Structure 1
Amino acid sequence: MTVLERLEQRTGESRGIGFTIRTMEVFDQRGVLRRLGPIETATAGHFGGLPLDLGVLGAAHRAARTVPQSVTEQALEGWARELGADIRRGQEVQALEDTGDGVTVTVARGDNREILRARYLVGCDGGRSTVRKLAGFDFPGTDATTEMLLADVRGVELEPRMSGQQIGNGFLMVAKLPGGIHRLIVGERGIAPRRRTGPPPFSEVADLWKRLTGSDISHAEPVWVSAFGDAARQVTEYRRGRVLLAGDAAHVHLPAGGQGMNTSIQDSHNLGWKLASVLAGHAPEALLDTYHSERHEVGRRLLVNTRAQSQLILGGEEAQPLREALSELLQYPNVVRHLAAKASGLDIRYDVGGGTNPLLGRRLPHLPLTTGARRTSSTELLRAGRGVLLDLGDNARLRDRATPWRNRVDVVTGTADPEHALPGGTTAALVRPDGHVAWAAPGSHQDLATSLTRWFGPAT
């Protein structure tokens, strides 16, 4: 795999500062979590600035707070290099052509030009994606109506306001980051976004902060400053031939609750194993079509919930009745669980075929297991990046059915502790490399061989 990166080096900026519960699970399933060092976690979240208790989900992980994106980037880059990725910095894509059997890419480094050829091209190049534009993807949606200013600063002590606060004619949020740094986000209603050619000066942030709060932070030392808006757009298709999009290249929105970076990581998690299976010749190219059918719907629902949060966060007095009505609804446990699952990425369910088993299409929760004399878990079993057929009923016939897929799927017989028993009386589950259940017994309408073929290719 070759990665083309326009920047010569990492910026050190930390736009994203935390992970949802689902992203924590994804990183743990791939063994990446340990690379990030000590992580501060919390059960406190928010939906549109209204406090939300994520602890009601009872997940093995909690949401991560204050993990600088620079740390995440460094950890992922190191992992990718260890796996053999060829990461080329200072390389800017200038043209591309899908030839039907591959993609030709023109890359510039200074005055030098190089033509590269690949079987597939994945654009992960952000909201202003060059790949998206060159490949002609449609990107409908709405332009930004409000601008928010962001600054990481040193030399000032401020009270954390992780859920944000409505104040005067604006909104502000404060998060305390490692190294004595505070993250400030501040915005004022009725101010149209500016056309900028670079980051705003810190004086602009300090002036707006003083206008809204009355306090002076102009003496603070800015680490970096940025601006963002509430534009909401999504491509109509995540795949066009041999060109695919992931992350902000496919969807942009108000970064409410840090869902943008987390959804982007999960896009890649969904696409990566499918692309690897096709490239290895195990699965047909049609498997890549499920990337669009699964992740486009996730992106659509992401835009719905961030647009709703935008009304709560950026709306003025006219939005106060909506805040009060939602605050009343949040007194009901089922409402809290629903919104907490949505904000945490745990509400996703893919179409893997009909059935009554409640796990079908959902992510397999962390499951402690005993296999023979060994203690393990479903999370540990997924670290190889392969499919797993989990046999909890010591079913020899089931294991025999999966034998022709042994080069792609690990068959594991084990028992779960009674307090961790899977719902629906589940005795077996076929788990994809992304942790989602593709088949389960009892309750799947498809037989095991059909599901194995659909997700892992023909028997060998």
Structure 2
Amino acid sequence: MHDVVIVGAGPVGLFLACELGLAGCSVLVLEREPELRSSWKADPLGMRGLSAASVEAFYRRGMLRPLLTASGIHADPDPDPDADEPSPPRGVGHFAGMMLDPADVDVTALPFRLAGPAAEGVMTSLEAVESVLSERAAELGVEVRRGVTVSAVEQNKDSVVARADGHKHAYEHAYAARWLVGCDGGRSTVRGLTDFVFVGTEPQFTGYTVLATIADPEKLGPGFNLTPTGMYLQMRAKGHIGMLDCDGGAFDRSQRPTREHLQAVLRRVSGTDVTLNDVHLASSFTDRAMQTTTYRQGRVLLAGDAAHIHSPLGAQGLNLGLGDAMNLGWKLAATVHGYAPDGLLDTYTRERHPIGARALDWTRAQSAAMRPDPHAQALQGVVRDLLGTRDGTTYVFKQTSGSSNRYDLGGEHPLAGRNAPDLRLENGTRLGDLMGDGRGVALDLTVDRSLHESAMRWENRVRYVAGPARNDLGLGAVLVRPDGTVAWAGDRTPDRDAFEQAAGRWFGHPKN
């Protein structure tokens, strides 16, 4: 019996598998698709944007440089190692197809942001992300079985079994574990086979992603184009087109998107007589926004699109799922190993569900602003005015970069519950460099002897590091969870009792 079976070997399932493998859990990943690579994962169709928060997750586990290399980015991840203050981001993205100027981001308004290797988002592909994670998972002893379609899930108080009846795979048909996590996408089989309640809003549009040969591409404008009849996006790759048709989601997966249909939609939303000669690949999607009411039912948990679906507007889906995996991994590992404090696993839903709900609302707001009607077009004018301001652009960047996320952990310090800044010690070591083994970090910037003695009681779960920092942001000590969240922060004279209370809350009973 494995400690954990994960259904789905996409980025979320693989990242979670790496987190669990790093913590010494036995992990089996079951994937329906027989092959790792496909045209839908490679550029240009597989192109995805990773937020700064997601890039930081790879950085903290020592996978940033391999990710950049796999993404075709041949650049130093830390081009200015002597910088302390962050520079404006190179890219900000868009809201409802309305582009933002990165020069308008007020970096001083970003909470506890420091310069570092993971201060920027990265354009990559699903193929690159999955190849890096697959290699790391193999190094950690994680087994991935492909070509396995799960058809039943059964659980009791001690274990859970995933059955793959009737498939032609050479492996056994029943996979038992202490825990099972569904990371199997928006049409999650695991979610459908268990008692999760999936609620939300129905779609307003059908979207299309198309790779085609266009006879007259000059008739289409570059980038996002909001029109009185819809929206289209001409991307940088030749023949790569995105479209939104406000049909209430009627077409999505109801029939195969033929060349004739796609050309008719493109002509309608673009207001041109553009011609598609050939369609090489095409798929459809909607802005249906749904979320499970909880992310756990007994010994079954959900992460990524299995727990929440929405339109791809704003590139939130992959980043939201990776955040789920980072949050869940260390908590599930602590539960497996028996040292998790009471209720630790329940904090996964409590912390991540509000983040997911906010992402769904973010995409709903964009859908409402992109409708081809006078009300939405009036709204677009108001939004453009707001996005033309420094405060408006900064607000959007906070949302899309993940810098506005904060878990409600209690306590009075404004850093508690936020992503930890990448503090750098005087010897050059950064906080991110200290998190590669998946443990928490107690960073003592005042070299307080009593704090050292206290932290060593959790040394198998928390790494204690002492020394002054180049820019300590007024902090005396910081306790960081394995997912990079600040569990506790102290001033120049750290409170040992408060530290121990926070350490016990998140890391269980200390050694005697």
TM-score normalised by length of structure 1: 0.90
Tell me, in whole angstroms, the C-alpha distance in 2 between the residues paired with 1:446 and 1:348: 27
Does 2:362 match 1:305? Answer: yes
Q: 1:208 aligns with which of 265, 269, 275?
A: 265
SS of the residue corresponding to residue 231 of structure 2 reads strand
Greater fraction strand: 1
Report whether the alignment pairs 1:432 with 2:474: no
Alpha-carbon offset, residue 20 of structure 1: 1.2
Distance change (3 Å), C-alpha of 1:33 and 1:361 = same
CA apart distance, 1:204: 3.0
Q: Which letter maps to 1:98?
A: Q
Partner residue in 1 for 2:500: 449
Q: Which amino acid aligns with 1:52?
A: L
Deviation at 1:111, TM superposition (A): 4.7
Q: Report deviation, 1:288.
A: 0.7
Deviation of the 1:154 alpha carbon: 6.4
What is the percentage of aligned positions where both structures have the same residue?
A: 37
Structure 1 residue 346 and structure 2 residue 403: aligned? yes
**Partner of 1:287: helix, strand, or coil?**
coil
Is the contact made by 1:150 and 1:226 (CA closer than 8 Å) also made in structure 2? yes
Q: Which of 150, 154, 178 is the aligned partner of 1:119?
A: 178
Are 1:47 and 1:343, in contact at CA under 8 Å, matched by a contact in 2? no
Show the counterpart of 1:183. 240
Alignment partner, residue 32 of structure 1: 63
CA 1:405–1:75: 2 relative to 1, 3 Å = same
Q: Describe the superposition over 1:357-406 as per-residue Cα deviations: whole angstroms up to 9, x where unpaired.
A: 22110001222222xxx421111111221100011111111111111101
Give the deviation of 1:195 after TM superposition: 5.3
Distance in 1 of aligned mates of 2:180 and 2:279: 41
**More deviation, 380-389/290-299:** 380-389
Report the aligned-residue RMSD. Answer: 2.5
CA contact (8 A) 1:386 1:432 kept: yes
Whether the 8 Å CA contact 1:151–1:202 is kept in 2: the answer is no
1:69 corresponds to:
126
Q: Tell me: CA distance 1:208–1:272, structure 2 relative to 1, closer, same or farther (3 Å).
A: same
Greater Cα shift, 263-272 or 285-294: 285-294
Query: Which one-letter code corresponds to 2:469 in the other structure?
Result: A
Deviation at 1:21, TM superposition (A): 1.6
Q: How does 1:317-328 map to 2 (within 5 A)?
A: 317-328=374-385
Residue 338 of structure 1: how far off its partner (Å): 2.1
CA distance in 2, matches of 1:3, 1:160: 43
- Tell me if structure 1 keeps the 8 A contact 2:435–2:441: yes
The equivalent position to 2:299 in structure 1, one of 237, 242, 246, is: 242
Structure 2 residue matching 1:77: 3-state secondary structure: helix
CA 1:330–1:187: 2 relative to 1, 3 Å: closer
* Partner in structure 1 of residue 433 of structure 2: 380
Q: Deviations over 1:62-107 (max 9, x none)?
A: 2223x12122122211211111111000111111112011112212
| Deviations 1:114-143 (CA, angstroms, capped at 9, x unpaired) | 222101000001111111111110001122
Q: Which amino acid aligns with 2:39?
A: G
Residues 3-50 of structure 1 show CA distances to partners (whole Å, capped at 9, x for unaligned) of 000111133313452111211111111122222213399423112222
- What does 1:5-154 correspond to in 2, within 5 Å? 5-10=31-36, 11-14=38-41, 15-36=46-67, 37=69, 38-39=72-73, 42-54=90-102, 56=105, 58=107, 60=115, 61-65=119-123, 67-108=124-165, 110-111=167-168, 114-153=173-212
Whether contact under 8 Å (2:213, 2:277) holds in the other structure is no
Uncovered stretches (5+) of structure 1, i.e. residues with no partner: none
* 1:360 aligned onto 2:422: no
Moved more, 251-260 or 325-334: 325-334
1:167 to 217, 227, 236: 227
- Residues of 1 paired with 2:189 and 2:209: CA distance? 25
Mapped to 2, the partners of 1:404 and 1:284 lie a distance apart of 15
- The 3-state SS of whatever aligns with 2:457 is helix
Alignment of 1:265-280 (within 5 A): 265-280=322-337
Take 2:245 and 2:488, find their aligned partners in 1: how far apart are those partners?
Answer: 49
Residues 252 and 286, structure 2, Cα contact 8 Å, conserved in 1: no
Q: Does 1:219 align with 2:268?
A: no
Distance 1:319 1:136 in 2: 38
Structure 2 counterpart of 1:102, one-letter code: S
**Matched residue pairs, number?**
446
Pairwise CA distance, 1:152 = 3.3
Give 1:336 shift: 2.4
Alpha-carbon distance between aligned partners in 2 of 1:126 and 1:77, rounded to the nearest angstrom: 18
Kindly state the Cα deviation for residue 209 of structure 1 after the two structures are TM-superposed: 2.1
